[in-house]
Structure 1
Amino acid sequence: MPLIIFSGFPSSGKSTWAKCLAENLETKIKSLQPNEEGYNMKVILHSDDSLGIKREMYRESNTEKAARAAQMSAVKRDISKNNIVILDTMSYNKGFRYQLFCESKSAITSNCLIQVICPTTKCFELNEKRLENEDKWNDDLLRQMIARFEEPDGSKRWDSPLISIGYDDKELPFDEIWEIIALRKGPKPNQATILKPAVGSNYLQQLDRLTNQVVSDIVGYQQIDSFGKLKIKNIDNSDCYVEVPSIQTSTATLQRIKRNFINLNRVRNVDSHRIIPLFTEYLTSNLRAS
């Protein structure tokens, strides 16, 4: 049922800790009695290696998109009331962590983000020490991935609860993790995350039309060299706002953010009057990050 996400730099020790956690969970579950919470759970560990994802797939956007799709597909397939799913990837992108949070919430299950802290110099050192039969990171790509890393923020609901461990810590905070994943109830899904049995074509058309309208407004706003709060009129005549940065954002970037938002919500039948407020909030968050 719970989802445990590992995050951190490449070669920071995530896989070592993920395997350690999986073993500890299996030992704990075997020790439980039938009347104890979690006794019937099964532990499933997914990693880039188990999913056939090569390091070089992170170099280009198209191949990285395929890698994330494989990770997301594995999570969607295995989330259930009796499974503890551990995802051992970098999870360096906050948009991807948000997607995972939505999947966990729609399944009404608890979730936990574990960040492995490791100095960059140590990551390069550990990468060099990999065995010959292990898939090493190219130094240039390793440097790129560290630069791309978007630090988790425990105050954000999709990064919470956040547990940080050091690459050289002696042991996991296992009791804390167990309490989060086995003893806490999952959050109730809301309109933004609950899955609907079917989505009509009219909803998808509205989703595309309204988000495209917001993107067009931003493009026009930037053409007059404006920045700051842009007021967007919602279909119910309420006001929504987008924080437009002083550095002009390309149309291609805005369209990419729009596509990501549509992909997140295409199977969730969001009320039409909530599309623009949700999209403007999503846009502001992504524009600040970039």
Structure 2
Amino acid sequence: MPLIIMCGFPCSGKTRRTEELKAYFEQHTDKKIHVVGDSALAVEKNAVYADSQKEKQVRAVLKAEVERKVNKDDIVILDSLNYIKGYRYELFCLTKHAQTPQCLVYCLTSEDVSSAWNASRDAEVQYTQELLKALVLRFEAPDSRNRWDSPLFTVLQDDTLQFEAVADAIFKRKAPPPNQSTQSQPLSSANFLYELDKITQDVLMAIFNAQKTSVPGDFVSVPGATEKIVLTSSVNMAKLRKFRRQFISYTKMHPTENTEHISNMFVQYLNKSLD
């Protein structure tokens, strides 16, 4: 059955809302409820979220566990930060591939409230203040206009969660049919879309800045690529963005497991397109 994705700042009430949802569905349905989250992994969150590689590994483990538990009969609740839009997109692809609905519950708090709640916890389960601030800065808020963030239920700290509306969203909506892009998406590669978006944007900015001092025929180095862009003429940003959109569309249909290859692939694509 469906996936409910929790989302919010650290110490924003996600686990409390997860427990409320679990209790509601246990009382009103005969479905089995699986809660997947950081707490089940017994990780030290200050060590994990301060290290990008460890954080990627944890996200991959959580997603793999969601993929393993999502089925036609049970409800899965993912209780984690889920603060990266690319990661939420991958979860959307996962549920689309499994042909089951999903929804997002966004626990909306201010940084001050989250900080106060964090300080009120026992010392051994607190985030450090520096890490909490860093995670807040990195947080990418969900947007209901994005299909992977919809349907979106935003709940403030004193609100009552819309249990019936959440139930309707996961029980009465048809699951989106799978398509080639979701079937091809490498679900084992955490945060693929986010990396694709960031790397290609960095390449564009490098080219744009290099053109201020280069002349036609120059070779331009870009971040993460061993190959260079050959600038046969000046290219405006609108044209570069067009090529970027085309490349992203193609790469989503033919993804690579190793994101380190994306820069070189994009350079090769641009050099062919700019000929």
Tell me the TM-score normalized by structure 2: 0.72
Give ranges in structure 1 of 5+ residues lacking alignment.
31-40, 197-211, 233-239, 244-257, 268-274, 281-290
Give the ranges of 4+ consecutive aligned residues of structure 1 lying more than 4 Å apart after TM superposition: 212-222, 261-264
Distance change >3 Å, CA 138–CA 109, structure 1 → 2: same
**Which residue matches 1:47?**
37
Q: How does 1:79-90 map to 2 (within 5 A)?
A: 79-90=70-81
Q: Deviation per CA, 1:168-200: give whole Å up to 9, x if none.
A: 22x21000000011121101111110259xxxx
Question: Once the two structures are aligned, what percentage of the paired residues are identical?
Answer: 32
**Which residue matches 1:61?**
52
Distance change >3 Å, CA 213–CA 101, structure 1 → 2: closer
Aligned CA RMSD, in angstroms, stands at 3.2
Shift, 1:220, TM fit? 5.1
Structure 2 CA distance for aligned equivalents of residues 22 and 45 of structure 1:
8
Structure 1 CA distance for aligned equivalents of residues 38 and 253 of structure 2:
22
**Which residue matches 2:210?**
223
Shift, 1:157, TM fit? 0.7
**1:241 pairs with 237, 243, 255, which one?**
243
Higher helix fraction (1 or 2): 2
Q: Deviation per CA, 1:26-62: give whole Å up to 9, x if none.
A: 11114xxxxxxxxxx3210111111223212011111
Structure 2 CA distance for aligned equivalents of residues 218 and 99 of structure 1:
26
Q: How does 1:157-172 map to 2 (within 5 A)?
A: 157-169=147-159, 171-172=160-161
Structure 2 CA distance for aligned equivalents of residues 137 and 217 of structure 1:
36
What secondary structure sits across from 1:168 in the alignment? coil
Q: Deviation per CA, 1:220-275: give whole Å up to 9, x if none.
A: 5653246522358xxxxxxx5337xxxxxxxxxxxxxx9xx6799358xxxxxxx9
Distance change >3 Å, CA 213–CA 179, structure 1 → 2: closer
Q: In the alignment, is residue 189 of structure 1 matched against residue 196 of structure 2?
A: no
What secondary structure sits across from 2:35 in the alignment? strand
What secondary structure sits across from 1:186 in the alignment? coil
Structure 2 CA distance for aligned equivalents of residues 81 and 227 of structure 1:
49
Aligned length: 222
**1:126 pairs with 107, 117, 121, which one?**
117
**Which residue matches 2:134?**
144
Q: What is the letter of the counterpart of residue 103 of structure 1? A: L
What secondary structure sits across from 2:53 in the alignment? helix
**Which residue matches 1:17?**
17
Q: In the alignment, is residue 111 of structure 1 matched against residue 105 of structure 2?
A: no
